[in-house]
Every structure is written in C-alpha cells, then in structure tokens.
Structure 1
C-alpha cells in the first residue's frame, strides 16, 4: 500500500512519473537499452536534456528573456559555493533565515565580504525578516525563499538595484511569481522537480563574467552554458525523471494550475493546527510555508500515542528535522489532498482520546 508521504526530501513525486521512470529503467523508449546505460552523448538523451531545459524556462515564463537553465551536480549545497565563485567580487548581501542560508553565507565568506542585512536568528528562525536595506554597491543579494526546517516562506521579494539570487530548493515550481525579477534561481531537484542527485540553476546570462578571479571549470557557470549543461557526464536518470515531472506539471496547468491545490492543502492542515487545542504551530502565521508546515504538541501531551496513531494511518516522514524537533508535514506538488485529510483525521482522533 502506498504511504501518505510527508517526507521533506527526497520526497513524493507523481505516481505516473514513478511508473514511466521505472519502465525506462528496463527499456528506454523501446530502444532495447535502459535509461541507466544509454550514452549521455546519444541523440536520445540530448533530446531529453534539451527538452527539460526548455520546459523549465517555459513553465517559469522566462523563454527568450536572456535566461538559460542548467542541470548541475552537487545539489543546492554546491550552488552556495558556485554563486559566490561566479558573482562575488567585493561584497554580497544575504538574509539569514535558517540553516540553509547560514550555510550559504559561510561559503560566500570564502570569496569576499558578506553583509548580513537581516536575520531571524533571534527568534530561532520562526519568522521572515522585513523592511531591511540592501547595499546598492553589493555584487548581488541572496535570499532563501522557503525554509524546510523551520516552516517559513517569503511571501514577497525586495526590489533591488543589484542582482537578485534565490535558493528556491523547497518551493520551486509550487507558486506563481514574477520569475523575471530574479537574476539567478537555484534549487535541488529532490523537492518538487525530481529525484536527488541533480540541481537546476536558472541564470540571466548578462550577470556573468564580471569577477576577475579564475574560476575552475566545474564551478564556472559560463563553461556549463557553453557546453549546454553537458560539460561532464550529467546525472542521466535524475534529469530524465525531472523531465517526466515537468511534463506532468505542464499537463496540470503549470504553476498556476498547481498553486491552488497547494494553497488548499496548506489551509486544511493549518486550520486544524490552529483549531486543535493539542497542537501549536511553530512559524509566525504571516510567514507560514505552504510547503513545509511545522508544528508541535502542547506540553504534557502524550507524544507516544500520537506517533502510534499517525504511523498506523500509513503516514510517513512526519517527524520534524533534528534541529527543531516536533513535526513537519512537507506537502509538495504531488502530495494529494486526501493525504492531508488523513493527517487531519488522525489529529482529530488524537484530540478525542486525549
């Protein structure tokens, strides 16, 4: 029986994507070869990666606007490094909204001055800072749109004269935004796009080539662009599965089509968290993530009984991150509303027997 998967990542993907990907593992497009063994230089795979790169730009509304999409190794953590390697000449501005932005700041400091323009560390990252100033002489401004650990999400983005860089790993492709306001977007695939093992970077090409340092080839965005994201052997299966998921999303009406469902799922769970006297939400209400609601039991409540109930209900991945504890219900694009309803039913059952 398929579990109700609230895992933060690697996470749930659509069932039809799993089925098509598994078929390709045995025989890719009736070629007599597995997707795992075809050459990355073959015409068959080149068409896969070209379609995936094009489809990302189409879904984001960035076609013919000077952007390119790259599939890269190393997940978003390598992008912490690559962003600074390619863009930081003297000074960069960052907001610190949690574990991942803290790590991004650490990597950037290897290359130049980092100005932390705002932080929510004072409240253990339970909110999104607002009303901060970004230095006009910064090489770029970096933010993290959604925080999986603490369950916060930026609802708007600052207008700035400097290039805007955003780590969208955990809410990529989940909500409608003006993506042209960003000069660089990066994301690990393993939330809303595909399996672990690949990251995507969407880059406005005119921001590159402005640092004086020599950049190693593997860290150089321009090299990857020139080689059409094929500078070295790409993670073939992860990219193919990402393509399947992008096709699924397009058939669902794209981001606009999926956003309403994501809002509905979040509203259902948050309404129960706020109604049920045994639970309390973690993040400030105005900054709550629609992807990663975080919550806890009130003090003195029988955690063992609640844990037993949700596990018996065939729910998976509900435990919070080890940094925060409590519970986290990650509700990515492919999670059906009925799974959220099962969790809400368990919470109401727990209320009745407590």
Structure 2
C-alpha cells in the first residue's frame, strides 16, 4: 500500500543544503514529541504497552516500505560479552520504538545529501502525527455512540457504595476533549519547533508542507487548516493540500486545485443549508444559491460578483481544454494570490455557518 510521505512530495524542492545544528535539534525535538506526547511506549511501571508496540511497528513498516527498506534500522542486536574470562554472544530484538529512534536520530554520515537525510526523518514525524490525527478523528466520530453506551451501562449497573458525581457521558466527553486539546498542543509545539529551526514548514491535518510567509501562515493558512480539519470538509482539505504541493514542487495548475477546494466548500454549504436544487450546472449556480434572497442572502451582491469573476477568469481557463489558444499559465505571485484568495473565501464562508 502506498503512503504519502514528505520526502517524496518535496523530492525536487531543496530545503536543507547542509546538516547543521538546527536540523539535528529539530529531529530530536520532533521525535521526542512523538515518543513522549503522541505515542508513549512504556507504562508507568516501565513495561511495554501492546498497543504502542503495534503503533510503532506499523510506523516502521509504512516508512520503511516507502524508503525501500525492510526496517528503518536493524531490529536485532548482537555482541560479545566477557564473563569469567570467556566470551559469550549476547543477542536480542530491539523494541519497536528503538528501531524507529535509531533511524530518526542517526548520525549524519554524508552518504546521502543533507536534504534527503532530513526529509526522510521528518517523514517519520509526519506519519506519526497523521496516525494520531486519524485516531482522534475516529474517536470524535464515535463519541456520541460511546457516550450513549456508557450511560446505558451505568443505568443497568446496580448502585454499590459511593458514587462519584457527574455522568459517565460527561466524563467521556471531557476525556475526549482533553485528547483533542493535547494533540493540538503537540501540533503547535511542532510548528513552533519548525519556526525556531528557521525552516519554512508547517504541519496541518496530516501533512507537513512549505509555508513561505509567516504573516500569511498566521492570519490565513492556520485558521483555514483548523476549519477544514473537520471531516465534513474533507474534499476541501484534500484539494487545497494538492494545490500547495503542486505549487511547492513546480507542478501544473495548482490554482485549479485551490479553486476546486473553494468550489467544494460552496457546494457543501449549499447542500447543508438545503439550498441545492439538483439542477445546478456549475459553480456560478451554487454561488447563486448562496446569494438568493429566499435563502437569506448568505452572501451579498458584490461578494457574488467577486466569486463568479474568480471562477470565470481564473478557474475556467484551467478547467477546460485550451484548444487553439495559448495554454493558460499563472506566474508565481499570481498562483500564491489564487491559493490565498480561495483560503480566505473558504474561511469566511465556513465561519458564517
């Protein structure tokens, strides 16, 4: 099974020209966040947790497959030890966390470029964050069902001894909220580590991507990623990530994917509000649904014109064959503008719901 990793997405986009102290610190810090905050490997008594063993083993297998390795580092060890003047061979298997740690924190020996070395190891951190985020999405999606089950079980059990105040459902909601808050704190820490390492990267919704402008990141990108992290906006999130990757790697038509993300957001809002009639032919018709007086004018006239103009002048030329006309192409500044335009509009529309 193919796994999308940071190292491949940015294979042709150099970031590190040397392995310096900032890069070394970043890898250590990123690994410690994973090991200490996302997936602690040992319990309070120092024993290996079976669930953690499976998680770390899975991370090892996923990344090793993408890098063309059997394991990220040797899963076994062996050495001679002196005992009573005799040499004895000692061998065993490394814990799964150690197999990963020996890879991520390996000393740089110059056998590959510094850029490849760091990217491959950041790919591990990206995969770990993505896995934790996917697990949280599952927990969030099943929360109502788990609350109902817990409250039903509490009612069926006979009361014995002292009972703590509060319902089991409230306790479960509080625990679930705490899990989400802890993960957001880990994401914020990782992004701050990127900033302090003076590398223009940002983690959001399962992916590490390049973010060039700190002001744009703070005011536009981060609020956007926070909003579309909800499963409801999955298609928006997916297409915008594709736009960013294409822009950063010099791929074709990143603005088209940004426009697709915005169009998806408009369609989802129209559907959720019950305004979709089923006769819409394109983005303009869905925009009209948002503008309609009967629907409370979700957007006003000048906003409608602004959106329609964007799809007409920017999206449509890339969404249809050029024929005998020149192939449309946006400059780098124009591409950045188009992506930011779509992020700003998507953010604004979602916040109005």
TM-score by length of 1: 0.25
Greater share of strand: 1
Greater share of helix: 2
- The structure whose Rg is larger is 2
TM-score by length of 2: 0.25
